[in-house]
Amino acid sequence: MTDDGAAAFGFDVADWPAVATVPGLFVTSAGRGDGKTLVAGGVARHLRRAGRRVEVFLPVATACRPGRGGLVSGAADFLAACAESPHALSEIAPIRTALPTAPPGTPADRQAVLDAWEALSQGCEAVVVESAGGILGPITDEFWSIHLAKLLALPVVLVVRPGAGAVEGALLTIHAARSAGLAVAGAVVNRYRADTAAEEDVDACMQTQADRIARLGRVKVLAVVPDDDANDVASAALADSARFALDQVPWERVISREL
């Protein structure tokens, strides 16, 4: 018996219309709750403080709240604050839903994402894109996060939270990205708990996972960001510990693929 779907995941976008390309990063995660919004915002803040005209892009925002102008995304607001972006929410996060997960999209949604990107990318020096879900997160049935990453030709930064399944999730994401021809710039280990000395099993797991991800995934661990209650995307708060960890990375070199 043959598998008729064996070639279904080629992720070829050669026949799709070209889009504007801007230097930047495509931030994705290995699992829900890994904190890719926090990391994406921290990177955008770093670039802005370095004097770069940086923009942020969140193609699909979930768990939005009602606002005077429609649905408002706390994640998009956080990213915009970090980048000091003047752009409208509709350009930063073109698809917004109150649901905790995105419903199946339509071809019109794909066009909305691409139109918003064209408007957002004009006049900036770098863009930090946060993926819709993980690297294989579907925006529509035919248009996934990985398609968008390929169209934008951006290197991937993987955010992973140490814990059960972290190494496997990281390796699966790295494999998917590389299989699609994407460059993986590195990984950020986020929400690292430094107070686990009394929990020997947890402590050993935390200490070894970053090394295993780097070694088995053949990828650089760019930063280890501590778990800190002062981090709060909803109130656009980035803890000093997170800022310090992310500011140690030469993100300009990561974007230019020199690192």
Model confidence pLDDT, tens digit, residues 229-250: 999 998 889 999 999 999 999 9
Identify the band that residue 8 occupies on the pLDDT scale cut at 50, 70 and 90: low
- What is the percent of the chain with per-residue pLDDT over 70, rounded to a whole number? 91
Cα torsion through 243, 89, 157, 195, rounded to 10? 40
What is the mean pLDDT of the segment spanning 7-12?
A: 71
Residue type, 156: V
pLDDT score of 165 more than 90: no
Mean pLDDT for all residues in the chain: 89
- Predicted confidence at residue 259, as pLDDT, reads 72
Kindly tell me if the per-residue pLDDT of 127 is higher than 60: yes
Domain range summary for the chain, segments of one domain joined by +: 24-255
Cα–Cα distance for residue pair 129/47, rounded to 1 Å: 13
Q: Which CATH architecture group holds 24-255?
A: 3-Layer(aba) Sandwich (3.40)
Instruction: At 125, give phi and psi (nearest 5°).
Output: -95, -20
Q: Could you give the angle at the alpha carbon of 38 between the alpha carbons of 19 and 113, nearest 5°? A: 25
Is 174 within 8 Å of 39 (Cβ atoms)?
Answer: no
State pLDDT tens for residues 46-98. 999 999 999 999 999 999 999 877 899 999 999 999 999 999 988 999 999 99
Find out whether 21 and 102 touch, Cβ atoms under 8 Å: no
pLDDT band at 195 (very low <50, low <70, confident <90, very high): low
What pLDDT is attached to residue 2?
A: 47
Dist. CA 135–CA 98, nearest whole Å:
22
Q: In what order do the strands lie in the sheet with 221-226?
A: 54-57, 126-130, 24-29, 156-160, 184-192, 221-226
Distance CA 26, CA 48 (A): 17
Q: What is the separation of C-alpha 221 from the centre of its chain, rounded to a whole number of angstroms?
A: 15
Average pLDDT over residues 154-173: 93
At 4, the pLDDT band (50, 70, 90 cuts) reads low
